[in-house]
């Protein structure tokens, strides 16, 4: 399997052998597709998170539940991603959004990686829509061993990938109750990146994880607001050779709609 992160040099050397996927999405409701058409890496296709990487949100399931396998397969086929594809995905947020696509593909055994540095790592942009050559992507179920439900969090380390102010309950733009799941530790996905949007060094990442209580044999569940940024955490774990973590798809957007307790502060 390809490494979870590749750099611009690797992409340039393998460009003819990969599908380059732009997965921009914004919490403030800006249009990822509009941003794509305004400027994207040459040859990239747009993958719509809301249409194909998530099912419709609900209080019971969270804002971005995993889509049914048929919807995901259809979206991949439309984007020109086939069963035997190698996908490199990027966004303009250091990969914390595009990680959703990469994790989903890798969980199904499809070769996929994040472009370290994202959009800014490219050399030049092209504009306008992009036409993909449809491919064949087989629908297959999400592997249960890679997921954790709301009732299966207590016996694992729960890493919350949201920014610190949302974890602490100081700021909450979308969910009904501010704060975090009691017992969760905070390692913001964006704090694993440097100012250039590239992944920090292995030593720094290991130190961050250790500070959050993650040991070499820890069983980790990754959470965030709605199960998107948490995928970046899971890719970081994999890149460091740590045991594969599980995704809590509903994340805090599901938890905060229940009557379960909520914690605030550090």
Active site amino acids: 224
Q: CA–CA separation, 52 vs 75, rounded Å?
A: 5
The C-alpha atoms of residue 107 and residue 72 are separated, in whole angstroms, by 13
Segment (H or E) for 88: strand 86-90
Nearest-Å Rg of the Cα atoms of the chain is 17
Please state the length of the chain. Answer: 266
- Among 129, 132, 95, 131, which residue's Cα sits nearest to residue 114? 95
Tokens for 198, please give them.
Answer: 């590239």
Question: Tokens 């994790």 — which residue?
Answer: 103
With tokens 């003819």, the residue in question is: 16
What are the two backbone dihedrals, phi and then psi, of residue 243, each rounded to the nearest 5 degrees?
Answer: -55, 145
Work out the number of other CB atoms within 10 angstroms of the CB of residue 28.
Answer: 5
Phi, then psi, of 187 in degrees rounded to 5: -135, 90
Alpha-carbon gap, residue 88 to 98, rounded angstroms? 9
Burial track 44-68 (b if 16+ CB lie within 10 A, e otherwise): bbbbbbeebbbbebeeebbbbbbbe
């Amino acid at each position: 399997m390809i490494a979870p992160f590749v750099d611009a040099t690797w992409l340039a050397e393998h460009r003819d052998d990969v599908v380059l996927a732009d997965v921009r999405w914004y919490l403030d409701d800006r249009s990822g597709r509009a941003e794509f058409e305004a400027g994207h890496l040459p040859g990239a296709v747009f993958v719509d998170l809301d249409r194909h990487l998530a099912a419709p949100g609900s209080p019971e399931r969270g804002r971005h539940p995993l889509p049914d396998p048929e919807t995901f397969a259809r979206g991949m086929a439309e984007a020109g991603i086939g069963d035997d594809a190698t996908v490199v995905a990027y966004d303009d947020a250091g990969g914390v959004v595009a990680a959703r696509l990469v994790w989903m593909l890798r969980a199904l055994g499809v070769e996929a990686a994040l472009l370290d540095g994202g959009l800014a790592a490219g050399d030049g942009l092209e504009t306008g829509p992009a036409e993909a050559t449809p491919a064949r992507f087989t629908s297959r179920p999400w592997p249960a061993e890679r997921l954790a439900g709301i009732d299966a969090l207590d016996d694992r380390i729960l890493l919350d990938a949201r920014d610190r102010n949302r974890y602490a309950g100081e700021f909450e733009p979308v969910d009904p109750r501010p704060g975090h799941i009691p017992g969760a530790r905070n390692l913001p996905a964006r704090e694993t990146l440097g100012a250039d949007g590239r992944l920090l060094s292995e030593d720094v990442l290991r130190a961050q994880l250790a500070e959050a209580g993650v040991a070499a044999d820890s069983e980790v569940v990754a959470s965030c607001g709605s199960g998107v940024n948490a995928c970046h955490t899971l890719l970081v774990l994999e890149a460091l050779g740590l045991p594969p973590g599980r995704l809590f798809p509903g994340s805090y957007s599901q938890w905060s709609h229940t009557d379960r307790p909520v914690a605030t502060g550090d």
